[in-house]
Structure 1
Amino acid sequence: MQYLFTGLAGLAIVSAGAAGAAGIERARTPIDVLFEEGNHVQFSFSYVDPSVDGTYAAPLGGGDTGDALESYLNAGVALKYQFSDRLSGMVALGQPYGADASYSEGIYTGLAAEWDSTSLTGILKYEFNDNISVYGGPRIVKSQAEIDIPPALIGAATGVPVAYNAGGDPDTDVGYVLGAAYSRPDIALRVGLTYESAITHEFDSVETVGGVATDTTTEVELPQSLTLDFQTGVAPKTLLFGSVRWSEWSEWQVAPPVYLGAAGQPVTGFDHDVFAYSLGLGRQLTDDLSVFARVGYETSEDTEMTRLSPIDGRTSFGIGGSYQVSEATEITAGIEYIRLGDAFDSTGTTYEDNSALGIGVQIGMKF
């Protein structure tokens, strides 16, 4: 049984960041590259355009918040090398986390946050036989963040209406990836379980309140996660694939010391973990062309969300296809629509009927 799209199960060319973990998680480690045959290099590019606005609570004057989240580009590259029949390795460069929030209407005008990250992951995979393999290696993440809070919001939290800004140098920390997989190549079956450790940043930052700057250190933990990926042939030229992922986002918060002392609460954070599910079906139409469709769901908690990421769960639907340009090169493209879960923040401002659209392209080449 031959399958043109052996990598579709791990494909993440669009969407994950638009809705994953309330818009913070934008890309995942491309473990699927480890299971490509021979030497392989993969380039991925995506563009995500969220449309997120809300309605201010009556005590804040009502009215529309305007669009709260900005569109963004994401890119990644992964290189897999086959050292021997049993041993292979992968190096991947990506942008796993990010935030681009900015308000321009109503009392939240001037509230903005930016988070940029870059990850470098190195993984070795050892195959005990044709069915069982294990893999693991270090994961390095570099992040930088900046937050602006306008006088109106600082005054509401502290009683003193002054502007607030926090920003500083980037910080780099190291975690690790561990996993194991079971495969049956004759029926395109693969089940993999991957653990990614938490990564803790300690940002040397400057908090500025009303023009007075204070040097502080802010600790932010990026969550540990556990992902079950699977794929299997269900009929000739037809592949079923999906994933289940748990991320400990309840440990994530941004609480600069000066702001925390004045307001008594973090700038942003989550109080619950996140479970995300996906299921898809791929079909080979010709020797060169395959198509796929998939659905995704992320749990909602119906609890207070942060105004810097006002999303509570999501449901998504995506379609796309892969074309074998040559014996060594395959291009995959897709589009995904994401229905973002309704949310509310600490002031009672509500965010309803929001969505995002993602498009992406992935180029894979054997060498």
Structure 2
Amino acid sequence: MHQMNLKTLLLAIVVAEAATSAYAGGFSRGTADTEILYEDGNFNMRSSVTFVRPSQKYSKNGNPDLVGTDPYDTYVIPSFATKFKLTDSVSCAGTYTQPYGGSKKYDAPTYDGKLVEKFHIDEFGATCAVKFSVGKGNFYLLGGMFVEQLDYEREDFGGINLNLTGQDTGYRLGVAYDIPDIAFRAQLKYRSATSYGADGTLSVPGELVGVPLPKVDFAAKGYGNLPQNVELDLQSGIAPGWLAFASVQWMDWSVTKTLIVRSDISETIDQYNWRDGWTITGGIAHEFTKDLAGSVSLSWDQAVATGWDVTGETWTLAVGGSWKDKRGGELRGGLGVTYMASVEETKYGFNNSALDAGWAVSGNLGYAIKW
């Protein structure tokens, strides 16, 4: 198999994985595209956008008006990566994505008064890889830093609005070994946890606090934790024009116990008390021509809910494709279909909620080029 064809196959895998990770467990969304560090070229750029539409309806809720309604919003995950080859042995990449997020919009107030609740994390990262020639392949050491920016919004019944922003930093480490001639790569990656004391404003209609003003703003602060994770990726050519790949990821979701918001007049606590999450993916990529390749994968994500919320088990089937154009770039796209298992709360008595089984559909489109 020729080297050029291998690169087309590998990019097809990246696309399928983007569609798979778009609806993983907990608050997971995108993943920083550090795979660009393994690409040939002195200067490489890759960008993509993934659209996700989940749909799952309440079968039980503390507010009967919400039974039969779907609280989930469509969301978009951007990704951008650029790589610079500094020497024959050292390359560095800058990445941007949204690794975490959540968005719900209710047709009627929840038992605790919520109408809209959403947040997302913007991650800006820099990662470098040092390559050593070992045996028939190459050994890599990876390391880098990232900055996360949190934006959180909540609208409550009665015209109450909460807005919070925060920032934290973290790091990623990794090791890998590859044999390019057979498209073999084994990679172990670690991403550190982050923690937030996000600041913002709770806006309350004046009549609720006895003030003759349209709105009164109170200082607010939110507290929460996001997990560390470890991922093992494997891939290898298995026959001319064929490549198999698999990954196992552990995420420390048990650190996400509560989201606490305190202001001068109130305190609210969202209970999660999640358990750690596991995601397992396996798939195959095939080269149709020297310029066209495709892949298919199946992913399972363990439910992290322990009775305190409705974050359940998922199964995702994803397909991806990559086409090399005449200008030296590669157009890529993918589709994913996720089955969302039914899930039920058990800790709130008559206020317990439950969701029927549902589906999420995701689509990914991107472009890659190198010089």
- Which residue does the alignment assign to 1:172? 167
Compared CA separation, residues 56 and 150, structure 1 to 2 (3 A): farther
Superposed CA deviations along residues 30-72 of structure 1, whole A, max 9, x for unmatched, are 1211111112110111111111211225x75476251101001
CA distance in structure 2 between the aligned counterparts of 1:172 and 1:131, rounded to whole angstroms: 36
- Which residue does the alignment assign to 1:160? none
- Which residue does the alignment assign to 2:311? 311
- Which residue does the alignment assign to 2:295? 292
Amino acid at match of 1:68: P
Compared CA separation, residues 61 and 219, structure 1 to 2 (3 A): closer
- 1:205 correspondence with 2:200: yes
TM-score, normalising length: structure 1:
0.87
Shift of 1:28: 0.7
Amino acid at match of 1:77: F
CA distance in structure 2 between the aligned counterparts of 1:140 and 1:262, rounded to whole angstroms: 28
Unaligned regions of 5+ residues in structure 1, if any?
Answer: 152-162
Superposed CA deviations along residues 263-302 of structure 1, whole A, max 9, x for unmatched, are 6xx2243421111111110000111111110001001256
SS at match of 2:36: helix
2:118–2:153 contact (8 Å) kept in structure 1:
yes
Aligned length: 347
- Which residue does the alignment assign to 1:255? 260
CA distance in structure 1 between the aligned counterparts of 2:14 and 2:276, rounded to whole angstroms: 22
CA distance in structure 2 between the aligned counterparts of 1:208 and 1:164, rounded to whole angstroms: 6
1:225–1:245 contact (8 Å) kept in structure 2:
yes
SS at match of 2:127: strand
SS at match of 1:6: helix
Amino acid at match of 1:189: F
2:186–2:235 contact (8 Å) kept in structure 1:
yes
- Which residue does the alignment assign to 1:146? 153
1:297–1:314 contact (8 Å) kept in structure 2:
yes
Compared CA separation, residues 207 and 68, structure 1 to 2 (3 A): same
SS at match of 1:111: strand
Amino acid at match of 1:172: Q
2:93–2:128 contact (8 Å) kept in structure 1:
yes
- 1:111 correspondence with 2:126: no
2:242–2:285 contact (8 Å) kept in structure 1:
yes
Q: Which residue of 163, 182, 187 corresponds with 1:187?
A: 182
Shift of 1:227: 0.8
Shift of 1:305: 4.3
2:109–2:115 contact (8 Å) kept in structure 1:
no
Q: Which residue of 124, 131, 138 corresponds with 2:128?
A: 124
- Which residue does the alignment assign to 1:14? 19
- Which residue does the alignment assign to 1:137? 144
Identity of aligned residues (%): 22
SS at match of 1:364: strand
Q: Which residue of 213, 220, 223 corresponds with 1:219?
A: 223
CA distance in structure 2 between the aligned counterparts of 1:294 and 1:75, rounded to whole angstroms: 21
SS at match of 1:131: strand
Shift of 1:223: 1.1
Superposed CA deviations along residues 93-148 of structure 1, whole A, max 9, x for unmatched, are 11222221111047567532110221111011001214211011111111110223
- 1:46 correspondence with 2:42: no
1:325-364 mapped onto 2 (5 Å cutoff): 325-326=325-326, 328-345=328-345, 346=348, 347-364=351-368
TM-score, normalising length: structure 2:
0.86
CA distance in structure 2 between the aligned counterparts of 1:222 and 1:259, rounded to whole angstroms: 25
Amino acid at match of 1:226: V
1:50–1:71 contact (8 Å) kept in structure 2:
yes
Superposed CA deviations along residues 188-223 of structure 1, whole A, max 9, x for unmatched, are 110111111111222113345755754233222221
CA distance in structure 2 between the aligned counterparts of 1:274 and 1:259, rounded to whole angstroms: 35
Amino acid at match of 1:289: L
SS at match of 2:24: helix
1:121–1:137 contact (8 Å) kept in structure 2:
yes
CA distance in structure 2 between the aligned counterparts of 1:6 and 1:271, rounded to whole angstroms: 34
2:219–2:263 contact (8 Å) kept in structure 1:
no
- Which residue does the alignment assign to 1:88? 91
Amino acid at match of 2:338: I
Amino acid at match of 2:163: G
Amino acid at match of 2:335: I
CA distance in structure 1 between the aligned counterparts of 2:221 and 2:63, rounded to whole angstroms: 33
Q: Which residue of 89, 94, 102 corresponds with 1:99?
A: 102
- Which residue does the alignment assign to 2:323? 323
1:182–1:192 contact (8 Å) kept in structure 2:
yes
2:13–2:295 contact (8 Å) kept in structure 1:
no
Q: Which has the higher strand share?
A: 2
CA distance in structure 1 between the aligned counterparts of 2:84 and 2:24, rounded to whole angstroms: 30
1:124–1:135 contact (8 Å) kept in structure 2:
yes
- Indicate the RMSD between aligned Cα atoms, in angstroms: 2.4
1:15–1:357 contact (8 Å) kept in structure 2:
no
CA distance in structure 2 between the aligned counterparts of 1:10 and 1:290, rounded to whole angstroms: 12
- 1:74 correspondence with 2:69: no
Unaligned regions of 5+ residues in structure 2, if any?
Answer: 210-215
- 1:366 correspondence with 2:370: yes
